[in-house]
Homo-oligomer: A and B are copies of this chain.
Amino acid sequence: MAKTNPARGMRDFLPADVRKREYVIKIIKEVYESYGFEPLETPAVENLETLLGKYGEEGNQLIFRILKRGEKLDLQNATSENDLADLALRYDLTVPLARVVSHYRDKLPKFLKRYQIQPVWRADRPARGRFREFFQCDVDWIGSRSAVIEAELISAVTDVLRRLGFNDFWVRINHRDLLLTLLGGFGICPELLDPAVIVVDKLDKIGPAAVAGELKALGVEKAESLVSIIQKTTSSVEELRKDFGSGPVPDAALENLEAIISLANCPAVIIDPSLARGLSYYTGAIFEINVPDLAGSLGGGGRYDGLIGMFSKEQIPACGFSLGLERILVVMEERRMFPPEIETASPADVLVTLFSSETIRESLKIAAELRTAGIRVTVYPEPDKIGKQLRYADQINIPIVVLVGESELQEDSVSIKNLVQSGQKSVGRKNLIKEIKAMLPTR
């Protein structure tokens, strides 16, 4: 017997799951569109070279590679996996966006505002809330270095969360230069900055003592005091400035953070000097959104002024935010945040029964008439005992059953059975639509 489970770390979504996903996606789209962001979609599959060298070493290893086909696949002379693969599944939506911006530069407005809600794939070790296929809900603004970009992006994603019913999130913000200057001031040599950032990024997972230990191994003598500095969150840039003491001060980064915080005008924004973000393409402000009852973040992002330049001659500044659909769904599920019409959706308003082979055509005709009137109608697929048909309707949560029997047809009437209120009545064919509409909640 063949295996029937989905591939490791991937999931099937049954109807109730899809409805919840679509409910959240709809709100995200509405809010992004209210800010003037436009939809973009890119293929799941990219040329391998498009993805390589953009995410750092750790990211490279998590890319799903697609085997070359036909004559291109030269098994005998292949020495590495990159000889065997020419394509790959996208790892995020940011690198494809950078490729698109370079490719269609002439067709796109100077300031491109795009959103993109699509799956990405990472060959990560599956864990609770961590999947190998998951949806990112990205919103990016291309073409300006202004702090207005960051401020409006923060405003858009926090609007999304509020519309979904979240009111206890906070937005952590930091700046790559701030972190790098701080690490440099504590004696990290330039070539060890990237590994040091990755160590800092693990603070939430491994705790301060372990981070201090790993930083010591990278050459930081006063690792404990460095860790104690980055552990302090604040909403005041001035307070933060003090932490640099007599060392070099990243003035531009501090001013940028100050401008973003002032324009965002959102009490949920706090500066977290330990925020690092794993991806290597970030160059400026970085952010992450958290809620108390989730270990990971609901989303994150940052400025990546260098990435588009890796695809084109032009250096084009850019900044974006990505909400994780699965993380949002996990929390909403646990907190029961879905409206009742999503939780209790039924596949149809009405089931039309099939009494006998002689009545099938009439049943299908009635179903078609009801659909024309905007009513969602399913038909029992084969003549069967009426009790069985009623149980089926009840089982799949359909509130109304229309019974079309031979006697009813002779009298030009049908019976309507309300499974919610347990009533049944016979109505004339010409009143059927009106009667059913009266029984349904107004939509």
Using CB atoms and an 8 Å cutoff, list the residues of chain A in contact with chain B: 1-7, 10-15, 17-19, 21-22, 33-47, 49-50, 64-67, 69, 73, 75, 78-81, 84-85, 87, 89, 99-100, 102-104, 107-111, 113-114, 119, 121, 123, 132-133, 141, 143-146, 148-149, 151-152, 155, 159, 262-263, 265, 310-313, 347-348, 351, 354, 360-361, 364, 367-368, 371, 374-382, 392, 395-396, 398
Contact B111 A381 (CB under 8 A): yes
A43 partner, pick from B133, B152, B354, beta carbons under 8 A: B133
Contact A47 B3 (CB under 8 A): yes
Chain B: which residue is nearest A6 at the CB level? B43
Contact residues in B for A119 (Cβ distance below 8 Å): 44
A85 partner, pick from B45, B67, B265, B378, beta carbons under 8 A: B67
17 A-B residue contacts at CB 8 Å? A1-B311, A4-B103, A4-B311, A5-B103, A6-B99, A7-B45, A13-B40, A15-B39, A18-B40, A22-B39, A34-B374, A34-B377, A37-B347, A45-B64, A109-B392, A263-B360, A265-B361
A66/B65 contact (C-beta < 8 A), A361-B263, A364-B151, A381-B111 known: yes
Contact B50 A2 (CB under 8 A): yes
- Cα(A376)–Cα(B119), bound, Å: 26
A15/B43 contact (C-beta < 8 A), A103-B5, A381-B111 known: no
What is the distance, in angstroms, from A66's C-beta to the closest C-beta of chain B? 5
Contact A378 B14 (CB under 8 A): no
Report which residue of A4, A104, A133 has the largest number of chain B beta carbons within 10 angstroms of its beta carbon: A4
A35 partner, pick from B65, B114, B121, B371, beta carbons under 8 A: B371
- Cα(A396)–Cα(B111), bound, Å: 10
Contact A392 B40 (CB under 8 A): no
Chain B: which residue is nearest A116 at the CB level? B18
Contact residues in B for A47 (Cβ distance below 8 Å): 3, 5, 7
Contact residues in B for A368 (Cβ distance below 8 Å): 155
Contact A6 B40 (CB under 8 A): no
Contact A109 B395 (CB under 8 A): yes
- Cα(A33)–Cα(B392), bound, Å: 18
Contact residues in B for A104 (Cβ distance below 8 Å): 12, 14
- Cα(A45)–Cα(B40), bound, Å: 22
- Cα(A85)–Cα(B5), bound, Å: 18
Contact residues in B for A110 (Cβ distance below 8 Å): 392
Contact residues in B for A78 (Cβ distance below 8 Å): 75
